[in-house]
Amino acid sequence: MSSGGRREAGQVALIALFVTALVTAQLTASKVLAVPLPTGLPVVGASVFLPGAALAYALTFFASDCYAELYGRRAAQVLVNVAFVMNFVMLALVWSTILAPASPTSVDPSMFATVLGASTNIVLGSLLAYVVSQNWDVFVFHAIRERTDGRYLWLRNIGSTATSQAIDTVIFVSVAFLVAPTVLGTGQALPTEVVVALMAGQYLLKLLIALVDTPFVYAVVRFVSDDTNEDRNPWAAE
């Protein structure tokens, strides 16, 4: 495949990955996972509690960083903000299906609504966290790129993802489990110490994912751009 063909295919593939991961994250965010740790950590405890969307959402940052590196800041911002609008399309489609009359042979409508109809808290927290953290990710990625003259891809990948994931975690957890239940009365607010533990545990896992995905960012960028610059090698001396 030619270099131009790889860039076109890479663009479609990264957009598809971003949107697929984002929709999956929205649909799986209401399930809370408990990941046991080998040993207890201060604040976090013996297990990391995080939404089921954690892995899917981490993939959106991987895809957006690859996309920003390959196609530029403007294109990445368009991707992020168009996808934000698509969240509302997805929610409208899901809720129109939930509210539509069910056939006698259908799955239990109440179970269907429970699984796919995320609570108001989750929706508000997720959407607000997304639009702020993803735009921040694109901004920081290109700010680092400009200040390092296009070198150190590992630095802008980790730096942008680490800070944006921190913003995402704080906004999502505080809105979904503390602010929305208290202000809107849409459920029972969690104690502050539990909210802090949720934030700490989720961020540790997200930071680990950001570190692990760096070689894959290099691999995607190198393959799509056919760039032999040594900066595309994460282990090269710089």
Tens digits of per-residue pLDDT, 185-221? 767 788 888 888 888 888 888 888 888 999 999 999 9
Residue of 127 and 122 predicted with greater confidence: 127
**pLDDT (tens digit per residue) in 138-159:** 999 999 999 999 899 999 999 9
Mean pLDDT of 51-65: 88
Going from N- to C-terminal start, the domains of the chain cover: 3-232
pLDDT one-digit tens code per residue, 95-112: 899 899 999 999 999 888
Residue 37 has pLDDT above 90, yes or no: no
DSSP string, 121-184: HHHHHHHHHHHHHHHHHHHHHHHHHHHTTT--HHHHHHHHHHHHHHHHHHHHHHIIIIIHHHHH
Residue with tokens 């368009």: 78
As a whole number of angstroms, the distance between CA 73 and CA 93 comes to 30
Beta strands 45-51; 32-41: pairing state: antiparallel
The residue that leads in pLDDT, 234 or 104, is 104
Residue with tokens 């965010």: 29
CA distance 162 to 212: 12
Residue 238: pLDDT above 70? no
- Confidence bin at 228 (pLDDT 50/70/90): very low
Beta bridge partners of residue 34, listed in sequence order? 49
